[in-house]
Every structure is written in structure tokens, then in C-alpha cells.
């Protein structure tokens, strides 16, 4: 690999010096286990160093930074182009590469379109793969996707929302193959639960502002005669979850 070779345990201070020395703005952590290697900016590394992390390993950046991007994401946003040089950190050999060379190396890891697919690819179960960024689907996946184009996500699992509103979960089950599952109903339920949780918090906050209070109890108690307190039965999908004790305060 072209460029200055770094030792295996590159520290963040050493990494920043290298970026300044070669007038580079980006570095990438390329690991055989990482399908979409993270990319960090020089400014992100400077921000981490301000927290006295100079001697930490460059491989700890994913945990030290609150966010990071991928090569595809930066290319899509036109922040990078094929001529941009990036400092690529690997376990054995690190150095400077143009984005075009990095993309060629990554595409070389993708399976060819033919016989190298697993023998069970044609099973009546939705499987997909990607070759040079293009989606490849077996028969079951084609039926599920309905012709929708899906971009590959980061990590072993990711969710994509289609134009028709359906949400699909892609779970990696093989180095190059993902199982596809429609999780629209599960996500809709999760969103509904989140909405009602937010509504409950808003109700409790408004009640407190008026001098009242709300708390969760297992069973209702005897009610005072002034109507200032009431118990609301709470249930979800037919399951009793307890009661909400609502104290309206002084209703007079």
C-alpha cells in the first residue's frame, strides 16, 4: 500500500500527526470483520484529543466519537470523490489510498453473481445480497420487495422503509447474504407505544403544573368524596397493567 506505513498500535496522537503531515482530512478503520468501515474526520480526532485521549488506540475511535460516517454515505453527500485521499488504518499495514482504490478493494470482497452464492439461495425464503452496490434478490425476496430498490445498510442488521410505507428488516445470516423480514406491524406497535408513553408524560406534566399529581398503583383505594382523586385502569392488548392514580389537587 502506498504511503507511510504505521505500526499496529497507532495512537490517536500519532494518527493526527500523520493526517497533518500528509495534508489529509479523513481516516478509515478497515477491519476484516467490518463490512462498512467507519470514516472519521480530522476535526473529530481533534475533538477526541481535547478529552486527553491522545494515547488511546485509533481503533477505539468508534467508541470515543458520538457519530461517524461510511465511505458510501460521504460519497453520496459528495463530501468525498474518487480522487480524495484517505489514511486507511489496518491491523497489519496502514497507509494512504485514493477513494477509487478503496472502492475497488471493497467491491472485490462481494460475491460474483453466479455459482458462488450459497446452495440454499433459491429456497422459498427472502434472501438478498449486493454486488457493486446493486441489489440482488432471490424469488421470494423479489416478491416481498415488489421491485423496490434498497441500499445496503451498515452493520449486521438494518431497517429500510419503502415508499409504500412498509418497513423491512435486513439481517445478515451469511458473509454476503441477508434475510429479509417485514417488520411493519412490529414497528407500528412500537411507535404507538412510544406515542402513548409520550402522551402520558405530557398529561402528567400538565397535571403537575396545575397542582395535581399522577402515579402508578397496583390497586385502586377508597376514593375521597370531593372527586379530587380518581383511578384510571390501564391495559394494553387486553393485558391489565395496573392503575393510574390521578390527584387533581384542589378542584374547588
Condensed to tens digits (0 to 9), the pLDDT of residues 20-46 reads 999 999 999 887 666 678 899 999 989
Tell me what the pLDDT averaged over the chain comes to: 83
pLDDT at 112: 44
Of the candidates 105, 104, 96, which has an alpha carbon nearest to the alpha carbon of residue 6? 96
Rg (CA), the chain: 27
Burial of 201 (0-12, 13-18, 19+ CB in 10 A): exposed
Residues 166, 208, single domain; the answer is: no
For 204-220, the DSSP string reads HHHHHHTT-EEEEESS-
- Whether this prediction's pTM lies above 0.85 is answered by no
Last residue of a domain, one of 153, 182, 211: 182
Q: What is the mean pLDDT of residues 162-182?
A: 91
pLDDT above 90 for 3: no
Instruction: Examine residue 114 and state whether it is found in any structural domain, yes or no.
Output: no
124 vs 39: CA distance, rounded Å: 37
Pair 189, 175 in one domain: no
Q: How many CB atoms lie within 10 A of CB 198?
A: 10
Q: 3-state DSSP call for residue 239?
A: strand
Residue 138: CA atoms inside 13 Å, Cβ hemisphere, count?
A: 18
Give the total number of structural domains in the chain. 3
Q: Give the integer Cα–Cα distance in Å for 83 and 101.
A: 9
Report strand pairing: 229-236 vs 157-161: unpaired
228 part of a folded domain? yes
Domain that holds residue 84: 12-107
Amino acid at each position: 500500500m502506498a504511503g507511510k506505513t504505521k505500526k499496529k498500535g497507532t495512537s490517536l496522537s500519532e494518527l493526527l500527526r500523520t493526517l497533518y503531515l500528509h495534508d489529509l482530512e479523513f481516516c478509515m478503520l478497515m477491519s476484516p470483520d467490518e463490512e462498512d468501515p467507519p470514516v472519521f474526520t480530522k476535526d473529530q480526532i481533534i475533538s477526541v484529543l481535547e478529552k486527553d485521549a491522545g494515547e488511546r488506540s485509533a481503533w477505539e475511535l468508534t467508541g470515543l466519537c458520538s457519530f461517524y460516517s461510511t465511505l458510501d454515505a460521504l460519497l453520496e453527500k459528495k463530501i468525498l470523490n474518487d480522487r480524495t485521499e484517505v489514511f486507511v488504518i489496518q491491523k497489519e499495514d496502514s497507509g494512504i489510498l485514493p477513494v477509487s482504490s478503496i472502492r475497488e478493494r471493497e467491491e472485490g470482497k462481494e460475491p460474483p453473481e453466479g455459482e458462488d452464492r450459497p446452495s440454499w439461495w433459491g429456497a422459498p425464503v427472502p434472501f438478498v445480497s449486493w454486488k457493486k452496490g446493486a441489489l440482488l434478490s432471490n424469488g421470494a425476496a423479489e416478491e416481498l420487495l415488489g421491485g423496490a430498490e434498497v441500499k445496503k445498510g451498515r452493520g449486521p442488521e438494518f431497517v429500510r422503509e419503502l415508499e409504500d410505507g412498509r418497513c423491512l428488516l435486513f439481517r445478515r445470516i451469511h458473509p454476503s447474504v441477508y434475510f429479509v423480514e417485514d417488520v411493519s406491524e412490529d414497528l407500528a406497535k412500537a411507535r404507538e407505544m412510544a406515542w402513548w408513553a409520550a402522551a402520558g408524560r405530557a398529561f402528567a406534566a400538565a397535571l403537575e403544573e396545575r397542582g395535581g399529581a399522577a402515579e402508578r398503583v397496583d390497586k385502586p383505594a377508597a376514593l375521597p368524596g370531593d372527586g379530587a382523586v380518581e383511578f384510571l385502569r390501564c391495559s394494553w392488548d387486553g393485558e391489565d397493567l395496573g392503575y393510574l392514580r390521578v390527584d387533581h389537587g384542589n378542584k374547588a
